[in-house]
Amino acid sequence: MTWPYTLLVSYNQDPCQFKNVTRNSYLIVLHHFCCFSQLLYDHPLRQFTNHLVNLANYSPYSNYIFSGFLHHEAGSAMTSRQHADRLLGESPAFLEVLERVSQMAPLNKPVLIVGERGTGKELIAARLHFLSSRWDQEFIKMNCAAISESLMETELFGHDAGAFTGAQKLHRGRFERADKGSLFLDELAMTSPLVQEKLLRVIEYGEFERVGGNKTLVTDVRLIAATNDDLPGLASQGKFREDLLDRLAFDVITLPPLRTRPEDILILAEHFAVTMATDLGRDYFPGFSAEARELLLNHPWPGNIRELKNVVERSIYRCQDPEAIIDAISLDPFESPYRLKPRRIASSTSTQPAVSTKPAEDNLMLSNNNLKGLTSLDGSAQFPMDFRQAVQDFEISLIKNAMASHQYNQKKTADALGVTYHQLRGYLKKYELLEQP
């Protein structure tokens, strides 16, 4: 029998003993490990190939598979998903998350994934689905923040023809399309109370009605939700249903930020660099210089893996010599001598500056007016000193004083400091001040 696809996977390291696989040996498998194509489902040996795909894609040791080569005997090109994002890492925190996912995947229970932006919540959701018994069914995804509140209900539950103006035909919602499979809802905190109430009913009873319909539909869907917000805090403020949180939080997977995974930074950076070099048609990636590697390791990465990917890819393509070692790392794409200054909107009722375009986790920028009267900046500092620690201590002291002055009301405190509410929340999390009175 002629096989249309052959995948050659090279094991450059052997952290665990794969059966019949040793260092520098090669395992020939029968399918592209980056996606589940229709060939896999139709082929008589799909159980065997599925096992190999799971081994390559979803093993905790998949980061040790550094090179894969897809050969099509008919001469066709690779699929567009040849560079699909993958979960890579070897840090204890990362491997612990993968172990948790492996334990939870077989259960038909809802799962809540919590993590900062750019930590890979969608990849974890996909891992939960493809390691479950529902792997061969639909995996439907929806970002709740990208859909307006008026359309959220119809997108999730569908609508009947004539349900509202413009509804000319029946529309099947995400829950209906994901029957027997999994539904991933990102940015769950952005849903309205009405949608949350309907979600609770689907989770508890597996029932829902389309918008404008009177027929109760039954669905068998595993719900996987994700957020970068503090849902217990929102629930205590009445901004999120506590009963829905109770149902979702059968177990919670909290993803570690990249700054707590220093062992994984260079692994990920080199993976993104090789991928970008391939996309640019270059023969190979020459590597990072020692200075570049040190810069990558010392950056706090507030945008986590997504930010790292952008930084590495930008640095690769800006280097015009394909054989030169990368020594210039472009952390800020807005960096320019002609960079625009943030506008300040004059107001008779507020002196709050316009929101900066910099990320919320960047250093807290205080205007000169905010610094007046602070004795810690009177020029009496003792040198030498630990600059970073001194800045951190100052920020913590300033935030604590502002919180106490405003009866620990975070909205008023944010206004007083001239930052947004979400920026203040980021600093409260960063300095572990959320649990303090």
Domain containing 269 — which CATH number? Answer: 1.10.8.60
Asked whether residue 411 carries a pLDDT value surpassing 80, the answer given is: yes
Q: Is residue 87 part of a domain?
A: no
Let me know: does 183 contact 222? Beta carbons within 8 Å: yes
Q: What is the pTM of this model?
A: 0.63
Asked whether residue 181 carries a pLDDT value surpassing 60, the answer given is: yes
Query: Which residue bears the tokens 């394909």?
Result: 322
Domain count, the chain: 4
Asked whether residue 429 carries a pLDDT value surpassing 70, the answer given is: yes
Q: Say what the pLDDT of residue 62 is.
A: 41
pLDDT tens profile 27-55: 333 333 333 333 333 344 444 444 444 44
Categorize the per-residue pLDDT at 84 as very low, low, confident or very high, splitting at 50, 70 and 90.
low
Q: Say what the pLDDT of residue 41 is.
A: 37
Asked whether residue 65 carries a pLDDT value surpassing 90, the answer given is: no
The identity of residue 279, as a single letter, is D
Do 270 and 218 share a domain, yes or no?
no
Do 220 and 184 share a domain, yes or no?
yes
Query: What is each CA distance from 173 to 43, 64, 140, 148, 169, in whole angstroms?
Result: 31, 39, 10, 15, 13
Question: What average pLDDT does the segment 157-161 reach?
Answer: 88
**Winning range, highest mean pLDDT, from 37-46, 311-320, 338-347:** 311-320
Total length of the chain: 437
Asked whether residue 60 carries a pLDDT value surpassing 50, the answer given is: no
Do 96 and 221 share a domain, yes or no?
yes
pLDDT tens profile 301-310: 999 999 999 9
Q: Is residue 324 part of a domain?
A: no
Let me know: does 339 contact 348? Beta carbons within 8 Å: no
Q: Is residue 372 part of a domain?
A: yes
Residue 155 makes CB contacts below 8 A (sequence gap 6+) with: 142, 147, 173, 174
Q: Say what the pLDDT of residue 131 is.
A: 94
Question: What average pLDDT does the segment 392-410 reach?
Answer: 87
**Which residues constitute the domain of residue 296?**
262-318
Categorize the per-residue pLDDT at 366 as very low, low, confident or very high, splitting at 50, 70 and 90.
very low
* Token pair listed for 57: 């894609």
Question: What average pLDDT does the segment 239-268 reach?
Answer: 94
Do 299 and 236 share a domain, yes or no?
no
Question: What average pLDDT does the segment 251-257 reach?
Answer: 95
Categorize the per-residue pLDDT at 379 as very low, low, confident or very high, splitting at 50, 70 and 90.
low
The strands making up 111-114's β-sheet, listed across from edge to edge, are 139-143, 182-186, 222-227, 111-114, 252-254
Q: Which residue has the higher pLDDT, 358 or 412?
A: 412
Query: What is each CA distance from 386 to 260, 296, 330, 389, 418, in whole angstroms?
Result: 21, 21, 26, 5, 27
Categorize the per-residue pLDDT at 5 as very low, low, confident or very high, splitting at 50, 70 and 90.
very low
Q: Is residue 335 part of a domain?
A: no
Q: Say what the pLDDT of residue 425 is.
A: 83
Q: Say what the pLDDT of residue 11 is.
A: 33
The DSSP secondary structure of 23-35, one letter per residue, reads TT-EEEESS-TT-
Can you list the alpha helix ranges (DSSP code H) found in 38-164? 38-42, 46-58, 92-104, 121-130, 149-157
Q: Say what the pLDDT of residue 404 is.
A: 85
Helix, strand or coil for residue 45? Answer: coil
Q: Is residue 275 part of a domain?
A: yes
Q: Say what the pLDDT of residue 241 is.
A: 93
Do 152 and 31 share a domain, yes or no?
no
Let me know: does 107 contact 279? Beta carbons within 8 Å: no
- CB-count exposure of residue 160 (10 Å: 0-12, 13-18, 19+): middle
Compute the mean pLDDT over every residue in the chain, rounded to the nearest whole number: 76
The CB density around residue 131, as the number of other CB atoms within 10 Å, is 18
Q: Is residue 55 part of a domain?
A: yes
Q: Say what the pLDDT of residue 156 is.
A: 92
Do 211 and 266 share a domain, yes or no?
no
- CB-count exposure of residue 37 (10 Å: 0-12, 13-18, 19+): middle
The CB density around residue 355, as the number of other CB atoms within 10 Å, is 14
- Domain end marker among 235, 254, 273: 254
Asked whether residue 353 carries a pLDDT value surpassing 90, the answer given is: no
Q: Is residue 223 part of a domain?
A: yes
Q: Is residue 164 part of a domain?
A: no
